[in-house]
Amino acid sequence: MKLCDLLDEQVVKVRLDGVRKEEVFAEIIEVLVRAGRVTDRERALKAILYRETMATTGIGNGVAVPHGKDASVLKLAAALGISDKGIQYQAADQQPVYVVFLVLADKNNPGPHVQCLGEIARLLSVPGFYDRLRRCASVQDVLAAIQAEEQMAW
């Protein structure tokens, strides 16, 4: 699975407004709602918040990957947000988060969800990729960085 097949200009937000993780969850879910990828804002938010109660999705090194599953999500939905300010996230390393990949999936079809999380992990393991994302000044730059990295791997 390629992230560039899930992400486009409608679901990438550079310069997130929120500075707390709950604000960012709502902000990114709103992006998905406006793009028509999520139809039930409240259930999507509950799915993300529920998953967050199990363990932080702030994986460290400035990255968070909040994800959840709900029957209201008919097709895998993903969005990406980048913060200039840093997000108070209670990440594993207790440092602020700057890059947030949010993933929502149908709870009855976990396969694509797992594949998406795997591709995010793969991209983040590429030396310098996180830094390239942080330096992106526009949505187009973000998408180009992801597409370039995925083209090299595929």
Residues 65, 101: contact at Cβ < 8 Å?
A: yes
pTM, 2 dp: 0.95
Q: What is the pLDDT of residues 84-130, one digit of tens each?
A: 999 999 999 999 999 999 999 998 888 899 999 999 999 999 999 99
Report all structural domains of the chain as residue ranges with CATH numbers, in order of start: 3-153 (3.40.930.10)
What are residue 46's phi and psi, to 5 degrees?
A: -60, -40
- In the predicted model, what is the mean pLDDT of the chain? 95
Confidence of residue 154 (pLDDT cuts 50, 70, 90): low
Structure-block tokens of residue 122: 């793969």
Which residue's structure tokens are 């969005």?
Answer: 79
- Catalytic residue list: 67
Share of the chain above pLDDT 70, in %: 99
Closest CA to 12 of 80, 67, 97: 80
Q: What is the pLDDT of residues 129-145, one digit of tens each?
A: 999 999 999 999 999 99
